[in-house]
Chain A
Amino acid sequence: MTEPSAPPEAPPITEPVMGARLHPLTPFVKGWGYFVVAAFAMANNEGLRSNLKIAGLGLAGVLVGGILLGALSWWFTKWQLTVDAVRVDSGFLFRRTRIIRFDRIQTIDVAQPFVARLFGMAELRMDVAGGGKSDGRLSYFTYDEAQRLRATLLLRAKGKHAVQHQAPDVEPEPLLVVPTSRLLGATLLSSTVLASAGGLVALIVSTTVLEAHTGLFAGLPLLLGVVQPIWKQVVGNHGFTLSETHEGLRTKRGLFDVQRQTVPPGRVQGLLITEPLIWRLLGWSRVDLDIAGVAGSKADGEDENEGAQLLPVGERQEVAGVLARVLPGFDLSAIEMHQAPERVKWLRPVGWRYLAYGVDDNVLVTTRGWVSRRTSIVLHHKTQSVRLQQGPLQRRLGLANVHVDTPEGPTDAIALHRDQAEAAALVEAQANRAREARRTAESVPAQTHPNEPSPDGFNSSAASPADDNSAR
């Protein structure tokens, strides 16, 4: 969230730089955590507390140093829009230039971390396929400016088709709002929370009844396991609102940090529907999306797969409605699912009943898991590769797995433990379907790509040199 030190630098590019600076309050908003930590450290240090003068001096020094560093970093950070890219120059010791090509931008969000919101400022987050999460961040702007810039960038990133829609960005009509009570209920009934709570109860019982105090150390992680998901779900997803704009579906959520995210329709790579055991009884499920550029940035440690959430918890018809929005004309219940053969029970005594896959003209669906059921939906024309796999035990039983690989994300479409002849045929069929789907998607820009120019912008190997500084 807040990072006082400068990010890793790339080789300098010596070029005269034109461009605008960010909002002057930026260093303060970025560095507030640094000040808080410094003050906290001062207050907690026994030695310093007894000598308030030194503590005051130290704090003042830290403050001045921090402000100076922040101001320098702010002064040397400039951004500008060039013909086909956003260019950001930063760093005062090591200059760095980052160029983010418009056609590589997958999604653009305006985010407002808590402190930024207090000051009415916002951060622009551009997700670039294959890049880390922090690569495409530009902060801070005033909220209005960020929205304007986002609109401009979206227009450039998606071609000129959308120019006439350059209406001021009003909050669109919500399609669906997830009530906080359901969020809370769903979190309390989720498998991790239940398991952690169970562990905690067992621990308390064992320590009080059996007086086995050694186990107490396990309490903290267990407590975290209870509190953290609740915090994350209830605070992070508070007032989750899904709405439809001309740019695609938009989600808005958060109690303190309001996150807005737009999902351009053509960027969806796959969907994952998760139904933990108890949710299934209540008819609840969660829907996550694979969007090129959003997921797969766990290296940044922050909130993994954060942006890929389409519905934190929804009822059956809500889920069906959302699916139909993302994939026009798609009806999950209409797809015929093929169960895994019975001999799989030697490998999966319980779970074999839940292994299934189904195919239609546009998607492949796989389900698995009996504690938490996962339904993956992948689009044929987004398929990256198809794999057939078989281990020694599977060979005994004449079984094989089929993997349909899509870009990194929560979705993992694996048709587990199929009959091997069927699996081989499926691989062949998937390869053909992917080829066909891609051909039709190319000749007719299908309704899933309303605003996009047909060469999808993301060309294969033509990487521009400046935009992958993040060593992955």
Chain B
Amino acid sequence: MDDLFAPSDVSWTPVSPKLAAVRRVSTAIALGVLAIVGLVSFGMLLDWLYGVLALVLIALGYLWAWVLIGRNQRSWKYAEREDELLVSHGIMFRQLVVVPYGRMQFVDVAAGPLERAFGIATVELHTATPATDAKIPGLHPDEASRLRDRLSALGQAQAWGL
């Protein structure tokens, strides 16, 4: 059943596990701030017991997020077919995007500070419609620039009119 979202006639490339690391760190930062705010505000207003309870809940939530992030990272993969780029991802909400290279308007390579620290980047392919959601996070910078160059070369070579 699983191969519905990943047809087996092409070779799929997984994304780097560092993506999970980046997401875990950013989630940790967000939840950490929330935890401190929760602890202090509950502790000051009600009782420190509630504060600790909030902390425990957030910690449990983080554990769950840890697992989900890992599964989600493993679900990201992409494939370069002769004429199309395929991107597949998601566990709960699964999606497979098929974008012909010729439809490409431009390619973005982006990397935030955390992503840079971990040495990954995101490649996003834009077509004439924002509905196209062809984004590949968690690529090694070299792979990202290789992909960008390849995509723009293919996009130029196969450019279709609007």
What CA separation (Å) do A106 and B128 show in the bound complex?
Answer: 14
Q: Mark B129-152, 1 if CB is under 8 A from A, else 0.
A: 111111000000000000000001
**Are A461 and B105 touching (Cβ within 8 A)?**
yes
CB A408 to nearest CB in B, in angstroms, measures: 6
Given contacts A385-B99, A385-B103, A387-B98, A431 and B84 within 8 Å (CB-CB): yes
Do the beta carbons of A389 and B93 come within 8 Å of each other? yes
User: What residues of A have a CB within 8 angstroms of the CB of B100 in the complex?
Assistant: 383, 385, 431, 434-435, 438
A421 interface contact, C-beta 8 A:
yes
Question: Roughly how many angstroms separate A106 CA and B162 CA in the complex, as a whole number?
Answer: 10
* A456 neighbours in B (Cβ, 8 Å): 160-162
Q: Mark B77-107, 1 if CB is under 8 A from A, else 0.
A: 0000001100000001111111110111111
B4–A392 touching, CB < 8 Å: no
Given known A-B contacts A384-B128, A459-B159, A438 and B102 have beta carbons under 8 A apart: yes
- Does A390 contact B5, Cβ atoms closer than 8 Å? yes
A387:B152 contact, CB within 8 angstroms: no
Q: Collect the chain A residues with CB atoms within 8 Å of residue B159's CB.
A: 455, 459-460
Query: A347 to B104, alpha carbons, bound, how many Å?
Result: 35
B155 within 8 A of A: yes
A388 B4 Cβ-Cβ under 8 A = yes
Looking at the complex, which one of A421, A459, A461 makes contact with B152 (CB distance below 8 Å)? A461
Kindly report which residue of chain A lies nearest to residue B104, judged by CB atoms.
Answer: A460
B75 within 8 A of partner (CB): no
CA distance A463 to B155 in the complex (A): 14
Tell me the A418-458 residues at the B interface (CB within 8 Å).
420-421, 423-424, 427-428, 430-431, 434-435, 438, 442, 452, 454-458
Q: Mark B95-125, 1 if CB is under 8 A from A, else 0.
A: 1111110111111000000000000000000
A230 within 8 A of partner (CB) = no
B99 neighbours in A (Cβ, 8 Å): 384-385
**How many chain A residues touch B (Cβ–Cβ < 8 Å)?**
48
Interface status of A405 (Cβ within 8 A of chain B): yes
Indicate if the CB atoms of B98 and A385 lie closer than 8 Å: yes
A389→B95 contact, CB < 8 A? yes
A391 at the interface (CB under 8 A from B): yes
What's the minimum C-beta distance from B149 to chain A, rounded to whole angstroms?
Answer: 12
Residue A386, interface by CB 8 Å:
yes
| CB contact under 8 A between A407 and B4, given known A388-B95, A389-B95 | no
Cross-chain contact A461 with B160 (CB below 8 angstroms): no
**Which residues between 454 and 472 of chain A lie within 8 Å of chain B, taking CB atoms?**
454-461, 463
Q: Chain B residues with Cβ under 8 A from A292's Cβ? A: 128, 162
Question: Does A267 make an interface contact (CB < 8 A)?
Answer: yes
Q: Are A385 and B94 in contact (CB under 8 A)?
A: no
Tell me whether A151 is interfacial, beta carbon within 8 Å: no
Q: Given B83, B131, B161, which contacts A435 in the complex, CB threshold below 8 Å?
A: B83
Q: Are B162 and A458 in contact (CB under 8 A)?
A: yes
Binary per-residue interface labels of chain B (1-34) against chain A in the complex, 1 for a CB within 8 Å, 0 otherwise: 1001101000000000000000000000000000
* Interface assignment of B156: CB less than 8 Å from any CB of chain A: yes
Q: Which of A130, A395, A406, A435 has the most CB of B within 10 A?
A: A435
Residue of A whose beta carbon sits closest to that of B86: A431
Confirm or deny: A400 has a beta carbon within 8 angstroms of a beta carbon on chain B: yes
Most chain B CB inside 10 Å of its own CB: which residue of A385, A405, A430, A456:
A385
- 14 A-B pairs with C-beta separation under 8 A: A130-B128, A384-B99, A384-B103, A385-B98, A385-B103, A387-B131, A389-B94, A391-B92, A405-B132, A408-B130, A420-B1, A428-B7, A456-B162, A460-B102
Question: Top 3 closest A-B pairs, CB basis?
Answer: A456-B161, A385-B132, A407-B128
Interface positions of B (Cβ within 8 A of A): 1, 4-5, 7, 83-84, 92-100, 102-107, 127-134, 152, 155-156, 159-162
